[in-house]
Structure 1
Amino acid sequence: MTMVERMPSRLFVDAEPGKPDATPEPWFLDPREIGRALRARWALVLAPAVLLLVAAVAWLSLVPPLYAAVTQILIDPRGIQVVKDGVTPADQASDASLLLVDSQIRVLVSDDVLRQVVSRFKLDQDPDFVRPSSLLDRLKGSLSSLIGVAGGPSDDGLTALRTLRERTAARRLERSFVVELAVTTDARQKSADLARAIAETYLATVSQAQAQVTRKAGDAVAGRLGELQDDLRAADDKAQKFRAANNLVGTRGQLVSEQALTQLNQQLGAARARAGELRGRLAQIEAVANGRADLNSVTEIVQSTTIAQLRSQLAQIEAARADTVSQLGPRHPTLRTGELQVQTLRNDINAEIRRIAAATRNDYRSALANEASLAATLESRKKEALSVDRSFVRLRELERQVEASRAVYEAFLVRARELQEQQRLDTSTSRIISPASLPERRLGPPIPVIFAAAAAAGLGLGVALALLAVPAAGRIGSRRRLQQIAGVPVIAALPAQARVRTQGRGTGALRADTAYDLAVARLGSRLQRDFGAARPTLVLVTSADDRAGKSELARSLAASAALDGQRVLLVDADPEAMISRDLRATAKRGVAEALRTQSGLGDALVDGPTGVKILPFDDAALSLGTAAYTGALLATAASFNTVFVDIGLIGTDIAAERLAQDQRFPALLLTASAKSSAVSRLQRALDATGRDRRVQLVITDAEAEA
């Protein structure tokens, strides 16, 4: 015997006892399942990648390359403040400045600018901008003529303009006044030339437009100068006529009546001051004349030369009289003469004082009369001024109109001169800060990136198609999928590549170096562990559509159990009789005959390799009824440790379904082929068994798991 014959079967168990092989995660989340699906459908995975790579090569070959040249223009909304007042305001808010720059972008790509570029480069004759009419275009034109929707003649210039507009893009860079202009054509040099031409044409157009606006404003202002001059002259004439009609004559901005009234006020004040002064002087002089005041207290008396002479003489005489009294005595006759002289001088002094008082009184009366006269004249002039004031109000209004007309005329005159000079100045600060250069590469991603993206997209599509093809094919595919579809534990997955038998040797001997035989040994040990408590162990082996796999499994399980030293009975109840065809021996009695005679099935058994007893298939025996067949089989099974019954296919064999529903068989192995078994047939087989808990799933041709 080989090594397997002496090796205990417990060494072949591949699962922990008592734990089901349940997998909660979906099969498509298992990398091993994905790998199996992709390996099985590698052509479907690679086909989209190859197709997309071919499509990428065709696209790169047929579609001409496009090149985009970029230039940057600084659009400064402030401009240069050459004159004090420009045509447009120089300082604006930030939001308004951004709106102005956005408006200039529209001007940059406007038809006015692009049409000049089209004319300059003769783009209406460039096939890149004006494509020749194709057969499809001619068919469209013919169809439009037939239905009565005839279009006008094509304009190459308009077509070139539209094409250039589509290939021109402008945008403002974020947080700046810089505008980026891009032009796309099929040639590097052409793209750069057109980008530079559009930028230069835009700057020239803006400068011309600004000069035109300034010229228009200057012409409008100059046209108004004549009207304003006539208005000023008319207003001035009207004011002068009103002044002459109302005798409103004045100098230095003041009327004569106002000047006279002012002078009278001044004269009246002086007269009143003079009268008051004379009144005070007169009172002082009268006080001196009445002896109530000293002579030295009045200025006029002190300053009078006559009184000064008389006082001098009086002083001399009094001095002489004092000498006489001291020398001759107070009774001398000459003293009388001195006294008369003193009295005469005092009388002369008093007479002079009265004369001064009379003169002062006359001056005071004259001052009062002058004051009264001036007051009367002032009152009359005031009455005249009231009537003049009413006329003067109207005159002031006319003069204000004259001043307003003069101010407007002078402002327009100055503004007209400024605009005339401003027409010759370019106050724009917009300029090209980054001229367009030759593009380095074509538009779009690089060619290696295109091929890499095509390959990646193709592989991704291929992987998706391969994974979608797994459920679409309706096959089991793998152990995980079978377990999820059936909802029943899969107790074994036998590798398909190891199922090799020597031709012409019947069931053959198990080899220790095959993965299939090792898996079968593990499965047999598990069956003994789960169902070997009661002897004999009865195991039904069936399938929905895997006939060869189930028969091979039943035969291999029987051989494995026999190698483990058990008495094994292998029953062939499959109408195809795949096990029975491999036998060379003949039984002493047929199964049907044994059932009729009720003599037992001992004479119907045939010896197989490694000590396995085989009950061959007998169609007549099953025709006698599954109850009799099962009863005889169970009676014969009492002499064995393990019985494996290979029955027909569930869903196509009535006898197989009745045997599978018999509860006296504790174990029911339902085999499936990962490559050929259909999911729908497996579902029908499970439904036919009522999804009995005795059912155990086995895959007979699973791929080796990593």
Structure 2
Amino acid sequence: MKLYDSKSAQDSPDLFRRQARRALGVVGRGKWVVLGWILIVTVPTVFYLYKAERRYTAQVEVLIEAPDIGDNLLERSYGKSRLTEASVQTEADILSSSVLVEKVIDKLGLERDPEFNTALRPVSMWAKAIGYINPLPVLTGQRAGEQQLSAEGRVKVERARIQGMFLSRLSVKSHRRSFVITAEFVADNGEKAARIANTLANLYVLERLEASLQDSKRANEWLAQRLDELRRDVATAEQAAEQFRSKYNLAQRRRGERQMTVNDQQLVELNSRLVVARSELAQKQARYDQLRGLLRNGGSMETAYDVLQSQLIQRLREQQVGKERELSEAMKTYGDRHPRIIGLRADLHESQARIAQEISKVAASLATETEAARVGVSSLERQIGQLQQGTNESGVHEVELRELERQAETSRTLYEAFLSRYKRDSEQESIQRANARVLSPAAIPIQPSSPRRVRIFLASLLLSVFGGIGLVFLLDRLNGRIRSAEEVEQITYLPLLAVIPKQGGKKRDAEALAFGILNAPRSPLANAFRSLKAVLAASAVDRGDKVTLITSSIPSEGKSFITRNLAMAVAVTGSRVLVIDGDLMRPTQHVALQREPSQGLTQLLSDASLSPEQLILRDERGGFDILPAGPVDAFSGNALSNGRLTEVLQSLSARYDRIFIDAPPSLATTDVQVLTQVADQIVFVVKWNDTPRDAIMAALSYLAKVGAEVSGVVLSQTSPAHHRKGAYGAYGYYGAYEGYGKNT
């Protein structure tokens, strides 16, 4: 019969519940550690919150506006420029610049405030002691460097410290996708914090206004210089144009007047006529080419533009259509040789011939008109060429004169624009607008921003709780002792056969230890042994096992107590039970009988003349027999190695239904190696919260090396309180039967 599958148990759906129960059990056992850790963390926190200096934070918001984009010369505005995140971040850096901070300090007199000037603070005894003890100023050369400074240098260093203290209280940040900058200032007084924040924002706006005024002033100075240069340029350009006009007798063209000579007027007129003539020639040539192409390709001439525009051809076409209709009607009545049919066909041929004749006339007329238009265009071109030859010489001079006039006009226009801009900026120099304004002034904070007592206290409380729980789990992990059924199964990979609670009562006397389950048959202890009996019996039935060995890793784990009570639990059912005290060096099974045997297993194995019946003791109250170990002598250490143990057990197996061997600890002697060879079942005992894990693993490893197959583990001497709380998984439910052990 397979008792247990460790892997399937770990993979079962009940695993989470079991692990949760174990975790709660660990926390419950370490509740005082958690409480102590909470006190260790929260008490200093409360003391700090009570003694810590209160800080107040004032917040002011500044809106950055985009400057106007305009043409300074044409006095034309193109609206606002586009602000970027980099531009807003730059303004935020300006708001926290040392120049602006220096102005705030000077205006509010913060150099006289001990909060910012540490030299004005009273020095405590503790600070003096730290100053004498601290070696850093000497090692880094800071103290020697300050002593070498002049009076002016010391003042600058002191001002730099005040600025550093001011900047450490100042926080300026810009918001994404927003043109608003938030400035926060922290001080030990709410009114002071609001006053400093508002002063900083106002001085920043004033600084931007002054920067705008300086830009306007520099622009006006540059405009004044540029105006002098442009005035000289205009005079030079106009003088050059006048000299050129006088030299070539071009006086009729003054200052850009558009008077023209007769040749110019004729050229303009002929050019206009030439444009019209070329347009008509192009149209006629296109119509003629279309008609000629239809004639050449044998296409339908009736689709030509000039043919469609001829009324005579259209009338002839209508007559032709009428005759075709008459011919079609007559063909329905008469034959091909009928005189009427012949006559209608003759009329139809005549009509087609007339249409063709008229189309030929249209084509000839169009060719004539095209040639006439071409001749007219050639004539106009010749006339224009003759006029151009006469005006080429004067035209060259006029072009040069126009170039000089344009240069003079450009210089004059630029000069007038600069002059107008200079006058307007001079008038508006005192009217400037900053590209920033205070959006939300800082209000006086009522509640301190730091320390945030509730938040810090809750955080410390949560930290202490979780830290205490973590410490409990750490201590539990470092403990190295077995405290639950899950740990037994996870470490040994063996099934847990039973959980044996610690023997109750105020005194652990011999009576309570020897007959515990008989004195309280409905107690958790008795139920535990009945459960252990049932588990071992199920395996014994399937395989016919009779001999069960109980061992442990180290002494004082309760294996002898478990062996005796297990034997009583089996004997109650009427089975014949024998307990063999196999711990030859520390025998204990005879103690409950209050008899000291003169002979036992040691003598039986060493003397072949002795029979087991002579040495067996009867425990009348327990209902089973005991084969004691016998007196401890020099032969006790080697008694099991002579090979007679198997023969003895074979003879005893014939008389008893179950045999239990109280074996010595596995790590104490080598007798277990011999005893396990004759055992059908091996029960390994682990003492709750006492046996080290290393000892358990070493003992199991030793048993595996000698070929012993351990059936399972029994967890002994467990705490009744933890037993009731279910700290042992499914075995914790035995705590519910504790009430049955009480006498009523």
TM-score (norm 1): 0.73
Letter in 2 for 1:403: E
Is 1:396 the equivalent of 2:402? yes
Aligned to 2:186: 184
Contact 2:3 2:495 survives alignment (8 Å): no
Q: Which residue of the partner structure matches residue 573 of structure 1?
A: 582
Match of 2:609 in 1: 598
In structure 2, distance between residues paired with 1:480 and 1:499: 28
Contact 2:600–2:629 (Cα < 8 Å) also in 1: no
Deviation at 1:650, TM superposition (A): 0.2
Structure 1 counterpart of 2:4, one-letter code: P
User: Do the aligned residues in 2 keep the contact of 1:80 with 1:427 (CA within 8 Å)?
Assistant: no
Shift in alpha-carbon separation, 1:390–1:654, aligned structure 2, 3 A: closer
Taking a change above 3 Å as real, the CA distance of residues 581 and 123 of structure 1, as seen in their structure-2 partners, is: same
Kindly state the Cα deviation for residue 489 of structure 1 after the two structures are TM-superposed: 1.4
1:544 Cα deviation from its structure 2 partner: 0.2
Q: Which residue of 2 aligns with 1:145?
A: 141
Alpha carbons 1:569, 1:637 under 8 Å: kept? no
Q: Which amino acid aligns with 1:101?
A: V
How far apart are residue 665 of structure 1 and its match?
1.4
SS of equivalent residue, structure 1 residue 521? helix
Tell me if structure 2 keeps the 8 A contact 1:249–1:256. no
| 1:593–1:248 Cα change, 3 Å | closer
Distance 1:401 1:435 in 2: 56
Between 1:131-140 and 1:100-109, the stretch displaced more is: 131-140
For the residues of structure 2 that align with 1:416 and 1:632, how far apart are their CA atoms?
130
- After superposition, the C-alpha distances for 1:660-691 in whole angstroms (9 at most, x for unaligned) are 2x1x3101111001211111111111112116
Q: Please list, as runs of the form range in 1=range in 2, the aligned pairs for 1:491-640 lying within 5 A after superposition.
A: 491-496=497-502, 498=504, 503-505=509-511, 507-508=514-515, 509-532=518-541, 537-574=546-583, 575-587=585-597, 589-595=599-605, 596-608=607-619, 609-618=621-630, 619-620=632-633, 622=636, 623-626=638-641, 627-640=643-656
Work out which of the residue numbers 99, 116, 133 in structure 1 matches 2:103.
Answer: 116
Q: What corresponds to 2:372 in structure 1? A: none
1:518 shift after superposition: 0.9
Q: Displacement of 1:257 after TM fit?
A: 11
Displacement of 1:174: 3.8
CA contact (8 A) 2:70 2:76 kept: no
Corresponding residue for residue 407 of structure 1: 413
In the alignment, the residues of structure 1 paired with residue 159 and residue 76 of structure 2 have an alpha-carbon distance, to the nearest angstrom, of 35
Structure 1 residue 214: deviation in Å? 0.8
Report the Cα offset of residue 202 of structure 1: 0.8
Would you say 1:213 and 2:215 are equivalent positions?
A: yes
Aligned residue in 1 for 2:4: 20
- Structure 2: distance between partners of 1:237 and 1:389: 21
Counterpart contact for 2:552–2:559, Cα < 8 Å: yes
Please report how far the alpha carbon of residue 164 of structure 1 lies from its aligned counterpart in structure 2 after TM superposition: 2.2
1:42 pairs, out of 31, 45, 70, with 31
1:646 corresponds to: 662
Contact 1:510 1:560 in 2 (8 A): no
* 8 A contact 1:570–1:612 mirrored in 2: yes
Q: Hey, what does 1:701 align to over in structure 2?
A: 717
CA distance in 1, matches of 2:545, 2:87: 99
* Mean Cα deviation higher: 74-83 or 178-187: 74-83
CA deviation string 1:491-525 (max 9, x = no partner):
11222264887624371234124211110111112
Give structure 2 stretches of 5+ with no counterpart. Answer: 269-386, 727-731, 733-744
Q: Tell me if structure 2 keeps the 8 A contact 1:37–1:466.
A: yes
SS in 1 for 2:664: strand
2:175 matches 1:165: no
Residue 260 of structure 1 deviates from its aligned partner by 8.1
Matched AA of 1:144: T
Q: Which amino acid aligns with 1:552?
A: F
**2:376 corresponds to:** none
SS of aligned partner of 1:20: coil
After superposition, give the CA deviation of every residue in 1:156-198 in whole Å (9 maximum; x if it has no partner): 2222222322332223334332222211223222211111111
Classify 1:89/1:510 alpha carbon distance in 2 versus 1 (closer, same or farther; 3 Å).
farther
1:214 is paired with a residue of what secondary structure?
helix
Q: Which amino acid aligns with 1:116?
A: K
Residue 199 of structure 1 is matched in structure 2 by 201
Equivalent of residue 697 in structure 2, options 673, 683, 703: 683
TM-score by length of structure 2 reads 0.69
Identity %: 22
Q: 1:427 to 1:145 in 2, by over 3 A?
A: closer
Contact 2:498–2:713 (CA under 8 A) maintained in structure 1 = yes
Matching residue of 1:673:
687
How far residue 526 of structure 1 moved from its aligned partner, in angstroms, is: 2.0
Contact 1:586 1:606 in 2 (8 A): no
Q: Which amino acid aligns with 1:678?
A: P
Give the deviation of 1:240 after TM superposition. Answer: 2.3
| Cα distance, 1:124–1:415 mapped onto 2, change above 3 Å | same
Closer, same or farther in 2 for the Cα pair 1:536/1:429, shift >3 Å? closer
Instruction: Identify if the C-alpha distance between structure 1 residues 160 and 147 changes in structure 2 by more than 3 Å, giving closer, same or farther.
Output: closer
The SS at the match of 1:424 is: coil
Greater Cα shift, 188-197 or 119-128: 119-128
Question: What CA deviation, in whole Å up to 9, does each residue of 1:28-74 have, x standing for no partner?
Answer: 97011112222333343334333221342344345433322111122
The answer to whether the Cα contact below 8 Å between 2:4 and 2:494 also exists between their aligned partners in 1 is no
Q: State the 1:199 CA deviation.
A: 0.8
In 1, Cα distance between the equivalents of 2:262 and 2:603? Answer: 170
Q: 1:563 deviation in Å? A: 1.9
1:656 matched to 2:656? The reply is: no
Q: Distance in 2 between matches of 1:417 and 1:68?
A: 48
Q: Name the CA distance, whole Å, in 2 between partners of 1:40 and 1:256.
A: 113
Give aligned pairs, total. Answer: 573
Amino acid at match of 2:589: I
1:245 alignment counterpart: 247
Counterpart code for 2:509:
Q
Query: Taking structure 1 as reference, are residues 254 and 109 closer, same or farther at Cα in structure 2, changes over 3 Å only?
Result: closer
Single out whichever of 494-503 and 650-659 deviates more from structure 2: 494-503
Deviation at 1:653, TM superposition (A): 1.0
SS of the equivalent of 1:684 reads helix
Secondary structure of the 2:107 match is helix
Contact 1:536 1:643 in 2 (8 A): no
Alpha carbons 2:62, 2:436 under 8 Å: kept? yes
After superposition, give the CA deviation of every residue in 1:598-647 in whole Å (9 maximum; x if it has no partner).
23122222222232222222234744334324533442343222221111
CA deviation vs aligned residue, 1:350-396 (integer Å, no higher than 9, x gap):
xxxxxxxxxxxxxxxxxxxxxxxxxxxxxxx9999765544433332
Instruction: Provide closer, same or farther for how the CA distance between residues 192 and 82 of structure 1 changes in structure 2, counting only shifts above 3 A.
Output: farther
> Judging changes above 3 Å, is the alpha-carbon distance between structure 1 residues 589 and 551 closer, same or farther for their aligned structure 2 residues?
closer
The offset of 1:657, in angstroms, is 2.8
Given that 1:76 and 1:430 are in contact with CA atoms closer than 8 Å, whether structure 2 keeps it comes out as yes
- Determine the structure 2 residue equivalent to 1:102: 89
Q: How has the CA–CA distance of structure 1 residues 247 and 533 changed in structure 2, closer, same or farther, with 3 Å as cutoff?
A: closer
Give distance in 2, aligned partners of 1:692 and 1:590.
Answer: 25
- Contact 1:544–1:681 under 8 Å retained in 2: yes
Gaps of 5+ in 1: 1-16, 267-380
Residue of 416, 434, 441 corresponding to 2:440: 434
Q: Secondary structure at the match of 1:648?
A: coil
For 1:337, the equivalent position in structure 2 comes to: none
Task: Identify the residue that residue 273 of structure 1 maps to in structure 2.
Answer: none
CA distance in 2 between counterparts of 1:529 and 1:265 reads 134
Residue in structure 2 matched with residue 346 of structure 1 by the alignment = none
SS of corresponding position for 2:116: coil
Match of 1:481 among 487, 502, 509: 487
Equivalents in 2 of 1:240, 1:84: separation in Å?
28
Matches for 1:450-469 after TM superposition, within 5 Å? 450-469=456-475
CA 1:139–1:39: 2 relative to 1, 3 Å: same
Distance 1:553 1:21, change over 3 A: farther
Superposition deviation, residue 224 in structure 1: 1.9
